[in-house]
Amino acid sequence: MLKHRVPSGIAMVAGLLLLIWADDRLGTRGTLPPGALLLLAVLAVLVPASIELAALLRARYDQAHAAVLYLAASAGVTLTYAAPQMPEPRAATAALGTVVAGVLLVAFMAHSFRSKNCRGATTAGGSALLALGYLGVLPGLYLLLRVGGPAVGFSPWAIAAVIMVTKSCDIGAYFTGRFLGRHKLIPWLSPGKTVEGLAGGMLFASLWAVIFAALGAYLVPDRAIPWWYAAPAGLLLGGLGQVGDLVASLLKRDAEVKDWAATIPGFGGVMDVVDSPLLVAPAAYWLLTLAPYG
């Protein structure tokens, strides 16, 4: 599996860096609003992600519509991106309530009105809300960082650093667990994960957080994050990334499937790649907005 993971991983990192570079250039030149290109990329990724989530839910509950899940997820990410541009917090809160009501109504109509059957309506509504939050609001927090951080927002390179620190924990955990793993972490949920692997992965993530902080201090001194803040932040991001992976494992075991899909060689599906950064997003927002800069 490693022979497939390496080229796939390199291709995805290259794609992420190209996307970040393009968003940075277009935003700096004023060609597009900051984060607009990232929003379009997330909306594109949500297509296969929604299909995979719908397939998972159908495997367990036999009730899910990929189009409804995509509508819910795209509404969540777009609202989170647009919220800072609304005139006041009350408007953003009202918009959220409106989106929730609209998503529920569409889910109920798509399920019950088409089949003229009430059975499974609760599952259909719950699935839509899961997509709204899990696939919509959580990745939207990365876009919120781009447009709603201190002053005019964060550089997209800060977002890339968070994602790469989080994913570096996966790499560190894999190799540490493979060579040093002795004690199973949660055998009933993820038999392959070990305590040693988790510790090694978190330390690896912390190391990369310090490296990225040093690189940022060199390139943008006035927004430098001190190493003593970056090190524990990396530990937290890596640990939460593993929690996100375990949450995805929980969903897959509930549906009795091994992978979300088989679209990315060596990894599985799109959700097998993004499951860890999704749950990290709230912590990343607070860690970056509350960091002691300069």
pLDDT band at 270 (very low <50, low <70, confident <90, very high): very high
Q: Angle, to 10 degrees, between the axis of helix 227-255 and the axis of helix 156-180?
A: 70
Q: Is 60 exceeded by the pLDDT of residue 149?
A: no
**Tokens coding 228:** 């003593």
- The pLDDT score that the predictor gives to residue 114 is 73
The pLDDT tens digits for 31-53 are: 888 899 999 999 999 999 999 99
Nearest to 214 by CA among 205, 226, 223: 226
Q: Is 80 exceeded by the pLDDT of residue 152?
A: no
pTM, 2 dp: 0.91
**Tokens coding 275:** 């499951």
| Those residues with Cβ within 8 angstroms of residue 215's Cβ, 6 or more apart along the chain or in another chain | none
CA pair distance 120, 67, nearest whole angstrom: 17
